[in-house]
Chains A and B, each alone.
Chain A
């Protein structure tokens, strides 16, 4: 590592912040772009499972809340792609890579939704898992990203509340409604356990070394379990992992080791709904291309 890079590394590890125009090592820049791009892609793809349910949501209030949540997510995607652009990768290239399958997005958005129970579980637990990571990103060494995370975290808190409200409504309803939630939880537990990624130690995680992430994967997962297992169990729901329990001595949550190969397969586009979702994204991009042309031509 050359001196300039070594000094930069020392600087960010000591809590130093980096702005768009600052010098940064190529490795830092490319890792940053990849990470932030994946986040933007996830916000954009995350809209699709929920969008399916706007017309099928059980009440007008739920339709409105779901629509507002989707609007937020798309707004987040736009903000985040803007950050990537300022780092040097144009939005068009990001979207090209997304629909071609070259770029990744979070595992949870590669799965289909089957019932309204899924919608509640996603808005509550998937968003909860995401917010654990996002809070840690408030300390990202790259300041423009850290700044937009503030707005994103603020809006995500409404999403979680909406999700929890949906779940609470279902579990205090009929037996059939309760069963919807339990069944959805049974299917979503594995993707949730995968969400924070495999347990690389912080020192070996380049993202933590460069202070892009300030939290190791396992730490995030533990935080999620610590916060949400009690909240799930207090509703009378069963978590489909017999081995899930808290070690009283260490305070750590023990669980059945997830299949990390499966996670890798899913995020490389082999999830149950990956192909369908990417095809939709490709199609919608082609369909709205004329809007972009007309708007830009008129403004010229």
Chain B
């Protein structure tokens, strides 16, 4: 069916001879199109979120298909259509040194705060109470 060499029996609307695709064309035929990732923005100010993919031979078609799939009913204020190969995924974040001093969860002030309040005699003033640590 995808053999560009063999002219089909004529059906309504078919060109009389299928132009012979070059080798690049034949590659495209075999692999169908290219994959484009579509990101949509629901309302102005919202982040763009991944909505799905379209399969298109080039950018022109990708835009048309993305508009059809994700913009037919004014459901998005904007779309980003990006060829898949342009997206670099990073999903490993080694934390060998556990540099907690740079994060909120790297500090535990409960014990020291209790000690300070004890010293100042203000345990009963603590909002919500301060039971012994």
Contacts and interface: CB of A to CB of B under 8 A. Distances in A.
Interface string A283-300: 000110110111111111
A82 interface: yes
Interface string B1-38: 11010001001001100110110111111001101000
A290 B11 CA distance: 10
Interface string B50-68: 1111110110010000001
Nearest to B9: A286
Name which of B53, B68, B72 has the most chain A CB atoms within 10 A of its CB: B53
Contacts of B2: 289, 292-293
A197 interface: no
A82 B57 contact: no
A299 B32 contact: no
B52 A151 contact: yes
- Interface size class on chain B is 35 or more
A290 B18 contact: yes
A49 to B, nearest CB: 23
Given A79-B52, A86-B53, A297 B8 contact: no
B64 to A, nearest CB: 11
B52 A297 contact: no
- Interface size class on chain A is 20 to 34
Given A82-B54, A293-B2, 14 more contacts: A71-B72, A75-B69, A78-B54, A79-B52, A147-B50, A151-B51, A286-B1, A289-B8, A290-B11, A296-B28, A297-B4, A298-B57, A300-B24, A300-B28
24 contacts: A71-B72, A78-B69, A79-B52, A85-B55, A90-B32, A91-B55, A147-B50, A147-B52, A290-B8, A290-B14, A290-B15, A293-B2, A294-B19, A296-B21, A296-B28, A296-B33, A297-B18, A297-B25, A299-B28, A299-B58, A299-B61, A300-B21, A300-B22, A300-B29
Interface of B: 1-2, 4, 8, 11, 14-15, 18-19, 21-22, 24-29, 32-33, 35, 50-55, 57-58, 61, 68-70, 72, 75, 89
Interface of A: 21, 71, 75, 78-79, 82, 85-86, 90-92, 144, 147-148, 151, 154, 286-287, 289-290, 292-300
